[in-house]
Amino acid sequence: MRRSCAMNAPFPPDLRPELHRRVLDWYADHARVLPWREPGCSPWGVLVSEVMLQQTPVARVLPQWEAWTARWPTPSDLAADAPGEAVRMWNRLGYPRRALRLHAAAVAIRDEHGGQVPDDHAALLALPGIGAYTAAAVASFAFGQRHAVVDTNVRRVHARAVTGDAEPAAALTAAENRLAVALLPDDEATAARWAVAVMELGALVCTARAPRCDDCPLLERCAWVLAGRPPHTGPARRGQAWAGTDRQVRGRLLAVLRESPDPVTAEGLAACWADAGQRDRCLDGLVADGLVEPLDDGRFALPRT
């Protein structure tokens, strides 16, 4: 049974300042230098980074973010280009529908917000393809606002340090959201820095596998450590397979289209995967997702409109 965060929590409200001090001091000394965290980074650069970083490691995102923001330094620059160019530029980051979502958001920012990423949380949330996490992250990291920014890393830190669980629940719960809000510093600027600091702690120290507890600023106060580091009792987390899956086939098909300056024939696509049934099913899925456009002459292209 999962413990309530109200039970034996080592960080009751009156100890929040200690929690904040420990994590923020650690962040000041250990934060990675990343371009989207630099003071001169635009809100658009922050938005691009947040979409790219979903389910993708920083090391893979860095070169793509730099190439993307060099080619499209503003939302209007991207909106003026075809959505297929966003898919092409996405390269091998994975989950390429994110490229289409970014393009759709850029069009909305150009048409509805004068080309400027809105600083209002509700307006961010209303952008196409922007969910609760991304809206909160951009409002916090780009505009210094006070929002609970809850990703997998943050959930893991909260689960261990506060509720004493080895891992958070399989999906974000209302209780986790309430806890994240309750832990926010009252001051907007401090809350914004806290949001990124907890995320960094989860990424670098309080990792899913082999957490570096001895390096953690919360070691002496961590409920999980104080409980003897009990193992995770929920369902086992399974890694995603790749070889032979539809995801691999879709990636191969998109790679052919990205690398060709011209539309590709069905025969050209057939060469990338031997199983015709699986290949055709995946191609149909890419068309349905808007990632591939079938042309009247039987060829296929990245989306043009």
CATH number of the domain encompassing residue 220:
1.10.1670.10
Residues 46, 23, single domain; the answer is no
Residue 205 lies in a domain: yes
Residues 64, 135, single domain; the answer is yes
d(CA 54, CA 192): 19
pTM of the model as a whole: 0.91
Residues 153, 131, single domain; the answer is no
Residue 66 lies in a domain: yes
Residues 56, 194, single domain; the answer is no
Question: By CB neighbour count within 10 A (0-12 exposed, 13-18 middle, 19+ buried), where does 182 fall?
Answer: middle
234 conformational bin, left if phi > 0, alpha if psi -120 to 50, beta if neither: beta
Residues 6+ apart with CB under 8 A from 284: none
Closest CA to 162 of 4, 3, 9: 9
Query: Letter for the amino acid at 294?
Result: P
Q: 20 is in which domain, residue-wise?
A: 13-32+147-226
SS3 299: coil
First to last CA, the chain: 51
Residue 231 lies in a domain: no
d(CA 27, CA 23): 6
User: Among residues 141, 166, 183, which one ends one of the domains?
Assistant: 141
Residues 131, 157, single domain; the answer is no
Residues with a catalytic annotation lie at 50
Q: How many domains does the chain contain in total?
A: 3
User: Among residues 82, 113, 141, which one ends one of the domains?
Assistant: 141
**Cα 79–Cα 145–Cα 100 angle in degrees, nearest 5:** 25
d(CA 72, CA 44): 10
Query: Are the beta carbons of 107 and 127 closer than 8 angstroms?
Result: no
Residues 258, 115, single domain; the answer is no
pLDDT at 281: 97
The full 3-state SS of 46-59, as one line of letters, equals HHHHHHHCCCCCHH
**Cα 2–Cα 56–Cα 224 angle in degrees, nearest 5:** 25
SS3 130: coil
pLDDT at 237: 67
Residues 94, 152, single domain; the answer is no
* Sequential pLDDT tens for the chain (305 residues): 334 343 344 556 677 899 999 999 999 999 999 999 999 999 999 999 999 999 899 999 999 999 999 999 999 999 999 999 999 999 989 999 999 999 999 999 999 999 999 999 999 999 999 999 999 999 999 999 999 999 999 999 999 999 999 999 999 999 999 999 999 999 999 999 999 999 999 999 999 999 999 999 999 999 999 999 999 987 776 667 889 999 999 999 999 999 999 999 999 999 999 999 999 999 999 999 999 999 999 999 999 98
User: Among residues 141, 156, 177, which one ends one of the domains?
Assistant: 141
Q: What is the CATH number of the domain that holds 93?
A: 1.10.340.30
